[in-house]
């Protein structure tokens, strides 16, 4: 749990207190990094153009064109770039602040001529089993889509290939289909999460039933914390897609409703999984408790029984160890062997009693 707790805590941080709203601040973890790489894919049903651009002012050319432009900003380290971009596309400073605030909740907002949304990619870091959440912000405008990512690697390469190769409907439909495709790619990746968590859980259960150890309960609590983290990232997305389905945003084409409904189903399915895992984690904690106390009970029982059998025998031996002058039995010839026999009978009787009582 420790790691998850630390992870959780690292994302509690103070807002830029006292600054006027809309003051941009780089996240500590991203600031100071190299300026963001900006790529543009400008496409229509018949044309395709792909560029990497440094001069932000030149972006304005993509703003009011007939072609569709996907402008991807691959890191949030350089505030100036973000600010200039904001000016070119006349984005409200509070929205830019939201883009930079990588610990915020997923949300969607209607900005009259644009739609802003902020969602989370969630995945397990390769080996450490640590959960990473990465924010993807999008601004959908008429004829363009801006995407902001925290880091350079992404899961959108297959979307780019579909655009390049004109596979599927992506080149034919407008930017809201691209908008949908990106969310869809992110949601598809969510399905890795229950798979990994499930594998972890399955191992834990077998371990617990055989040999419960404190580390196991730590691991279960870690998974529980992971589920909280994941839930915080995914749950709001459900409401976001729902509000799009209700048709609250004009910029999102009615033709993609059927795709969004499909997307909504997938999200529900992931959320469903997480709920099921929560139940299972609760059961596992119970199982652990039961298993520990069963094992302890078994130890205590066998040991106590051994002790109990020998205590009366030791008492008998103690009696004939007394030094009274007048103890007639002591002089009898086979007294010693008789007493040994009596002791054996007592022990056998007790074992039989315990067996009968089903304690042994």
Name which of residues 87 to 126 contact a second copy (CB under 8 A).
92, 94, 97-98, 103-105, 107, 109
Q: Which residues contact 133 (CB under 8 A, 6 or more apart)?
A: 120, 121, 122, 229, 233
* Residue showing tokens 């529900």: 268
**Does residue number 170 form part of the binding site for a second copy (CB under 8 A)?**
yes
Residue 344 binds a second copy, judged by CB under 8 A: no
The minimum distance between CB 185 and a second copy, in angstroms, equals 7
CB of 11 closer than 8 Å to CB of 232: no
Residues in region 291-310 near a second copy by CB under 8 A: 291-294, 296-297, 299-301, 303-308, 310
Minimal distance, residue 5 CB to a second copy, in Å: 6
User: Is residue 320 a contact point for a second copy (CB under 8 A)?
Assistant: yes
User: Per CB under 8 A, which of residues 238..277 are in contact with a second copy?
Assistant: 258-259, 261-262, 265-266, 268-269, 272-273, 276
Q: Which of residues 31-90 bind a second copy (CB under 8 A)?
A: none
Q: Which residues of 255-279 are buried (b: 16+ CB within 10 A; e: fewer)?
A: ebeebbeebbebbeebbebbeebee
Residue 199 beta carbon to a second copy: minimum distance, rounded to whole angstroms:
8
Residues 129-168 that bind a second copy (CB under 8 A): 155, 157-159, 162, 167-168
Could you tell me how many residues of this chain bind a second copy (CB under 8 A)?
126
Q: What are phi and psi of 59, to 5 degrees?
A: -65, -30
In the bound complex, what is the minimum distance in angstroms from residue 211's beta carbon to a second copy?
Answer: 7
202 counts as binding a second copy under rule CB under 8 A: yes
Residues 204 to 243: which contact a second copy by CB under 8 A? 205-206, 209, 211, 214, 217-218, 221, 224-225, 228, 232
Question: 4 with 131: CB under 8 angstroms?
Answer: yes
Task: Report the residue from 152, 286, 341, 344 that binds a second copy according to the rule CB under 8 A.
Answer: 286
* Shorter beta-carbon distance to a second copy: residue 56 or 120: 120
60 versus 255: smaller Cβ distance to a second copy = 255
Q: How far is the CB of 46 from a second copy (least distance, A)?
A: 19
Query: Of 130 and 184, which CB lies nearer to a second copy in the complex structure?
Result: 184
């Amino acid at each position: 749990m420790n790691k998850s707790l630390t992870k959780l805590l690292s994302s509690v941080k103070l807002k830029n207190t006292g600054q006027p709203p809309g003051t941009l601040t780089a996240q500590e973890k991203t600031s100071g990094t190299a300026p963001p790489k900006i790529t543009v894919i400008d496409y229509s049903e018949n044309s395709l153009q792909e560029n990497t651009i440094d001069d932000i002012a030149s972006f304005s050319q993509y703003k009011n064109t007939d072609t569709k432009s996907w402008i991807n900003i691959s890191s949030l380290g350089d505030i100036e770039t973000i600010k200039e971009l904001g000016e070119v596309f006349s984005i409200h400073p509070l929205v830019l602040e939201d883009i930079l605030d990588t610990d915020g909740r997923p949300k969607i907002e209607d900005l009259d001529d644009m739609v802003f949304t902020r969602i989370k990619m969630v995945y397990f870091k390769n080996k450490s089993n640590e959960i990473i959440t990465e924010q993807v912000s999008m601004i959908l405008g008429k004829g363009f889509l801006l995407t902001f990512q925290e880091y350079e690697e992404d899961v959108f390469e297959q979307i780019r290939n579909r655009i390049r190769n004109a596979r599927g409907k992506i080149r034919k439909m407008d930017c809201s289909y691209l908008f949908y495709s990106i969310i869809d790619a992110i949601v598809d990746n969510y399905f890795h999460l229950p798979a990994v968590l499930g594998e972890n859980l399955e191992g834990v259960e077998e371990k617990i039933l055989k040999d419960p150890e404190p580390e196991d309960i730590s691991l279960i609590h870690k998974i529980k914390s992971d589920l909280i983290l994941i839930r915080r990232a995914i749950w709001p997305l459900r409401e976001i897609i729902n509000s799009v389905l209700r048709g609250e945003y004009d910029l999102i084409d009615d033709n993609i409703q059927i795709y969004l409904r499909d997307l909504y189903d997938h999200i529900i399915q992931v959320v469903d999984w997480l709920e099921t895992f929560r139940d299972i984690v609760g059961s596992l904690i119970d199982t652990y408790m039961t298993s520990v106390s069963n094992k302890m009970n078994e130890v205590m029982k066998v040991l106590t029984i051994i002790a109990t059998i020998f205590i009366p025998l030791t008492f008998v031996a103690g009696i004939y160890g007394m030094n009274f002058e007048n103890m007639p039995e002591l002089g009898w010839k086979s007294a010693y062997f008789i007493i040994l026999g009596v002791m054996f009978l007592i022990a056998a009787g007790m074992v039989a009693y315990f067996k009968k009582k089903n304690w042994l």
